[in-house]
Amino acid sequence: MSAAPIAEHPYRYTVLAELHARPIEMIAPGVRVRRLVLAVPDRSGGLRKALDEFAAFAERSGHDIGSDHTTRQYRFETATRSVTWEFHTEFITITWHGALNDAENWPDDIGLGAVGGAELVGAMRVDVLDEAELPERALSSFTYTSLCLVAVEYGNAQLATDFVPDQDKFIRFEFAAGALSPLRRAITLRRILEAETYRGMALLALPLARATSPELRAVETELTEVLTDLSSVESTDAVQERLKRLHDLSVRSGQISEKLSYRFAASYAYGAILKRRLEKLRETTLGPGSSLASFVGNRVEPALATCEAMDKRLAVLLEKLERAVELLNVRISLDMQIQNKAVLDTIAETARSQFRLQHTVEGLSTIAITYYLIGILGYALAGPLEATGWSKTLVISILSPIALVAVFFGLRAIRRGFERRDKR
């Protein structure tokens, strides 16, 4: 009896396909390899649009790229070139190779018109020479001050560049790979291309950091002014005005963070990949030239450090804003409590005054009612007293205290009756 089948994870084949998403292309010596690095516009669906345009180009040109558009790498052949398109998260690379004497930097048969609104970040040209060492003719045209001349792959190959673009915007590399096996040659070439690709992508954050730095500095300065001024603020209106300024600063700093956060995070990731690719070249310097790791590292690492410092400044700014807002909210809450206490004290004093006034009115009312009651009794008893011979004055004197007590308790009973009814 066979066991029940185990359900497969929905991403299983996607994860497996990632292992083979960008296979290494075997390159023969004596070829010229070019690569363009194109940043996709920062808008929703930009990469999808570029992929659709590429698929349309491939269909028009008769190139079979398959129907699975989730693949990240596509290859096709033209009459004189082998072309590879790779789609990354936010950029596209177009790599092609042909004869070593291929002078066409911008051929019209590889689909350059299908890149949509993508923008050029990097362009490189690698001449793969079928020689064990770089000949003098390959080095003579490089700029001496920025020359990088190294042995790679444990000294079995040599590489040279000066990172200076030519008139067609391409940076030239000379790669003597005659002593390498086909697989090691292909792997090393890929690492060279990727190192230059990620160098350009890693440095994209630096211009943005420089352009945003004055705006960040302005927010920091205004926040310092607000915090310095808080100690002298006394009125609630002034506190509310400071709170509004802090809210505006919070919005501005949030916009800066939104602008920088993704670009900085991407650059840190590209910088880490660049460092690993350079390490994998296993280079040693030759003659007067600098090593790639040293030359590139001395430019990329300070740029990334600048971005990291700005990232920390932004984090500190957001933390200060949060604390300042909390402080002002506490201040406003205390002011409101003080105002509420003053209002409650006023209400309590008013209630006490009303209570005293009520008792005063009750006392006056008791006297007034007693006075009129005694007057009525005097008229009512005048006849009987005269008939009996009793003294009217004496009788009224005796009845007056009794009438006063009766009126007092009578009014008190009426007031308590009203109070019980109000409680219900």
Distance CA(308)–CA(320), nearest Å, equals 18
| Of residues 116 and 323, more confidently modeled | 323
Examine the fold and report which residue of 342, 373, 408 is the final residue of a domain before the chain moves on.
342
Which tens digit of pLDDT belongs to each residue from 149-186? 999 999 999 999 999 999 999 999 999 999 999 999 99
Say whether 372 sits in a helix, a strand or coil. Answer: helix
Q: Are residues 336 and 254 in the same domain?
A: yes
**Residue 400 domain-assigned (yes or no):** yes
pLDDT in tens, 187-205: 999 999 999 999 999 999 9
Query: Do 324 and 358 fall within a single domain?
Result: no
Helices (H), 164-281: 182-202, 205-229, 236-280
Q: Does residue 313 fall inside a structural domain? A: yes
Asked, for residue 168, whether it belongs to a domain, the answer is yes
Quote the domain boundaries for residue 320: 205-342
Asked whether residue 52 falls in the same domain as residue 181, the answer is yes
- My answer on whether 64 and 32 are in the same domain is yes
SS3 96: strand
User: What pTM was estimated for this model as a whole?
Assistant: 0.76
In this structure, the answer to whether residues 218 and 315 fall within a common structural domain is yes
370 compared with 283, residue with greater pLDDT: 283
Interval 278-291 mean pLDDT: 90
Whether residues 279 and 373 fall in one domain:
no
Whether residue 168 is found in the same domain as residue 280: no
Express each pLDDT in 211-222 by its tens digit: 999 999 999 898
State how many domains the chain has. 3
